[in-house]
Amino acid sequence: MDEQQIEEFVFQVVADVGACMSGPLVLIGDRLGLWAAIADRESVTSATLALATDIDERYCREWLAAMAASRYVDFDGDDGFSMNVAQQLVFSNPESPVYLQGAFGISQSGWLDEERISEAFKSGEGMPWGDHSECLFTGTARFFRPAYVHHLVQEWMPAVPGMVESLERGGRLADIGVGLGESTVVMAKAFPDATFVGFDNHEASIAQAKELAKREAVSNVSFHVADAKGIDGTYDYVSLFDCLHDMGDPQGVIEGALARLSSGGRVMLVEPFANDELADNLTLVGRVMYSASTFLCVPNALSQAGGESLGAQAGEARLRRIAEAAGASSFERVAETPFNIVYAIGA
């Protein structure tokens, strides 16, 4: 036996177990306002943090030690703890481009729904998105919102030929698979003269999307419950954000979207960053994507008519083949981030 190899692997797994056990504590810190309270102060002790958040000091003391062991907060000595800039951007600032609290909500749903997913493994049946725990829906919205706020209007939309100009002139855009409506509302606020229509087959999510539009006082957007292939109307542009790989008939969805375009329009397809070969996706980001895909994306796709399951790491070559089979005249990668790739698809 290679004892060093075994030891290194054991401690790798120990680190992973620690990450898993820290996850609920991250959520507790978010629920009880602990992250914000630490970020607002130069340094805290368990006593001062407990007083600021009205929680029990003994729980607070242990929580701080656990977060310091995870390097999620800094231990300053003499019972003091603080958050550096990176920690604040990730845990306490919802407007940060790298805010990751939502990812813990998504992960939570995997644990809560594990029994149901295990049964799907054995039966081969799917599990619809709407059958998951509520934390999935809110976690997903919080996870993707930073990308929409910091990249969508500034980088992604300008990269799609003619999109910005069309919407500035009062064009129409259909947003398919909107979830809680974050992407649609961000675009609607940026282009007040345009019309935005959001579609999702999950009724509870559409209800929350409508509430979001009301809170943000956005009047040029509407939301409707509809299957991705069953949208109506004619649009200058159609968008799909991180959802095509969740659908049982991705080719049919693209066909339907292209059929709804006016002359010269495009489909803006945003998908998780992925290379074409499995070996090239075995990264930290790929680990997250393949894991989420196993308990979210694949089961949802298998639950739908058609039952084709792309998975969250489909890769550009496969997406291109689907677009071409759907009748697309063009397929172009126009933008990317470490987490997403943006494609423009022409009718």
Using the predicted structure, report yes or no on whether residue 14 has a pLDDT greater than 90.
yes
Instruction: Please name the residue ranges forming H helices in 40-113.
Output: 46-53, 57-69, 85-91, 101-112
Using the predicted structure, report yes or no on whether residue 305 has a pLDDT greater than 90.
no
Residue 149, both tokens: 């706020």
Q: How far apart are CA 190 and CA 193, in angstroms?
A: 9
Predicted local confidence at residue 224, as pLDDT: 98
Predicted local confidence at residue 307, as pLDDT: 79
Predicted local confidence at residue 200, as pLDDT: 97
pLDDT in tens, 161-170: 999 999 999 9
Angle at 83 between CA 78 and CA 86, to 5 degrees: 145
Using the predicted structure, report yes or no on whether residue 228 has a pLDDT greater than 90.
yes
pLDDT in tens, 259-293: 999 999 999 999 999 999 999 999 999 999 999 99
Q: With H, G, I as helix, E, B as strand and everything else as coil, classify residue 200.
A: strand
Using the predicted structure, report yes or no on whether residue 241 has a pLDDT greater than 90.
yes
Confidence band of 198 (pLDDT split at 50, 70, 90): very high
CA dihedral 120, 123, 126, 130 (to 10 degrees): -50
pLDDT in tens, 137-168: 999 999 999 999 999 999 999 999 999 999 99
Compute the chain's Rg from CA coordinates: 22
Average pLDDT, the chain: 97
Using the predicted structure, report yes or no on whether residue 182 has a pLDDT greater than 90.
yes
Predicted local confidence at residue 42, as pLDDT: 95
* Ordered structural domains, the chain, with CATH: 15-91 (1.10.10.10), 145-346 (3.40.50.150)
pLDDT in tens, 51-105: 999 999 999 999 999 999 999 999 999 999 999 999 999 999 999 999 999 999 9
- Please check whether residue 303 is in contact with residue 126, taking contact to mean a CB–CB distance below 8 angstroms: yes
Predicted local confidence at residue 1, as pLDDT: 78
Tokens 């399951």 identify what position?
309
Using the predicted structure, report yes or no on whether residue 247 has a pLDDT greater than 90.
yes
Predicted local confidence at residue 306, as pLDDT: 82
Q: How far apart are CA 78 and CA 198, in angstroms?
A: 53
Q: With H, G, I as helix, E, B as strand and everything else as coil, classify residue 71.
A: coil
Predicted local confidence at residue 86, as pLDDT: 98
Confidence band of 130 (pLDDT split at 50, 70, 90): very high
Predicted local confidence at residue 308, as pLDDT: 85
